[in-house]
């Protein structure tokens, strides 16, 4: 029981430490600031925000034909 507990403990502590480190680094690098910009970062500058990027969703050429 001692060895498995130890191994699991080491893995859990390592993962927890890495997670805490990642959290701290993420916070200190400003990733949690300006969520508006972060949410929009998914779109390239050539992609319109506020409109579906699928022309078939915006303006199906033939509604009956494009339904799936």
Between the CA atoms of 46, 47, 51 and 54, what dihedral angle is there, to the nearest 10 degrees?
Answer: 120
The rounded distance, in Å, linking the Cα atoms of 54 and 50 is: 12
At its nearest, how many Å lie between other proteins and the CB of residue 28? Answer: 13
Rg of the chain in Å (alpha carbons): 23
At its nearest, how many Å lie between other proteins and the CB of residue 22? Answer: 8
- Contact pick of 17, 21, 23, 24 for other proteins (by CB under 8 A): 23
Binding mask 24-53 for other proteins (x = CB under 8 A): --x----xx-xxxxxxxxxxxxxxxxxxxx
């Amino acid at each position: 029981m001692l060895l498995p507990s130890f191994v699991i403990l080491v893995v859990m502590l390592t993962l927890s430490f890495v997670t805490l480190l990642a959290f701290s680094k993420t916070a200190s690098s400003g990733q949690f600031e300006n969520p508006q910009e972060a949410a929009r970062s998914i779109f390239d500058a050539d992609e319109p925000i506020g409109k579906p990027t699928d022309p078939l969703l915006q303006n199906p050429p033939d509604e009956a034909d494009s339904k799936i």
